[in-house]
Structure 1
Amino acid sequence: MSGKRGKECLLLNPRRNSWNFTFPGNPEEVSRARRLVRDVLSEIPCREDAALVVSELAANAITHTRSHTTGFTVHITRTPRTVTISVTDHGGSTSRPRVAHATDSSPCGRGLVLVTACATVVRITGDETGHTVTAELHVNVSVPAPC
């Protein structure tokens, strides 16, 4: 385990509406990114969906690109109606991120499926030098009735 910690580029200020975080490419940093999203969005109904989105996108970055050695960046923007989460990797992949249709026995391939289920909009930009996957969520999510 590396002793490096991610750097918060902006302080966690509840009156702020935009945050940037840079993380080392260690697998344990995915859970740290998830906790920071929950902290930043502590009063927002969609915070658990946002935490799931950042988990999946960060895990994809360190699993499928050279971000496992160089790190990844998370950008969060909050407006009264939406939360936007962007995760930028540091390239090295020969393919563009895409929604895969994994079989029941496949150990991976569900990350972007989960992200698209939570988000109202998903955008993928970039090239072999790095991709940014951006997910936009509605602030007020409706909670379904229990089964």
Structure 2
Amino acid sequence: MHEYTSTARVWGLTCPGFPEEVSRARRWTRDILRGSPLADDAALIVSELSANAILHTASGRHSGSFHLALAISPQMVALSVTDDGGTGQAPKVEHQDQDAEHGRGLSMVNALAHRVVVHDSDGAHTVTAELFTGVRPGSHPC
């Protein structure tokens, strides 16, 4: 393989920070992953990450936005959501009691994905969830 060639395909979408854009992000993800056994999990992950960006960061404020990136390779599907920042702290998995109405989104993403990584860049955050093809959540690809 040539050093500048990749088998990964990458898509991007920037959405205004309106709540109705979460369903658009979910549909976009399902359309790209149509026919993949990972489509439903990926759509749910994108819904959670997009909703978190709108609810908890400047993405949900006037003229805010969030950006989605979807990368597909033979080994994995990687879903990233980048927010507009404004929170001062990175998203983290919180363990809520069963009666809590909020705070379980990243825990669910963590349970569905094989790996979740949070990057901080100039106050904005990118949460990337990776789903390995042919591997069940909680197991290791090797």
Scaled to the shorter chain, the TM-score interval is 0.7 to 0.9
In 2, Cα distance between the equivalents of 1:104 and 1:124?
Answer: 25
Cα shift readout 1:82-130 (whole Å, capped 9, x = no counterpart) = 0000000000002210000111221101111111111111100115620
Tell me by how many angstroms 1:141 deviates: 5.4
Tell me the equivalent position of 1:58: 50
Cα shift readout 1:6-48 (whole Å, capped 9, x = no counterpart) = xxxxxxxxx9821000000000100110010000000211110
Cα shift readout 1:39-72 (whole Å, capped 9, x = no counterpart) = 0000211110000110000010001001012110
3-state SS of paired residue (1:91): coil
Q: Which runs of 5+ in 1 are unaligned?
A: 1-14, 143-147
In 2, Cα distance between the equivalents of 1:141 and 1:121?
Answer: 12
Contact 2:14 2:65 in 1 (8 A): yes
Contact 2:8 2:71 in 1 (8 A): no
In 2, Cα distance between the equivalents of 1:21 and 1:27?
Answer: 15
In 1, Cα distance between the equivalents of 2:134 and 2:36?
Answer: 8
Aligned match for 1:88, one of 82, 91, 94: 82
The answer to which of 28-37 and 121-130 deviates more is 121-130
**RMSD of aligned residue pairs (Cα, Å):** 1.6
Contact 1:76 1:85 in 2 (8 A): yes
Contact 2:83 2:126 in 1 (8 A): yes
Aligned match for 1:106, one of 100, 105, 110: 100
Give the structure-1-normalised TM-score: 0.82
After superposition, the Cα gap between the structure-2 partners of 1:103 and 1:89, relative to the gap in structure 1 and judged at 3 Å, is same
Tell me the equivalent position of 1:24: 16
The answer to which of 33-42 and 119-128 deviates more is 119-128
Displaced runs of 4 or more, over 6 A: none
Identity of matched residues, %: 47
Letter in 2 for 1:39: D
Report how many residues are paired: 128
In 2, Cα distance between the equivalents of 1:134 and 1:20?
Answer: 13
Letter in 1 for 2:89: S
In 1, Cα distance between the equivalents of 2:8 and 2:129?
Answer: 19
In 2, Cα distance between the equivalents of 1:35 and 1:140?
Answer: 23
Q: Which runs of 5+ in 2 are unaligned?
A: 1-6, 137-142
Q: Is 1:46 matched with 2:38?
A: yes
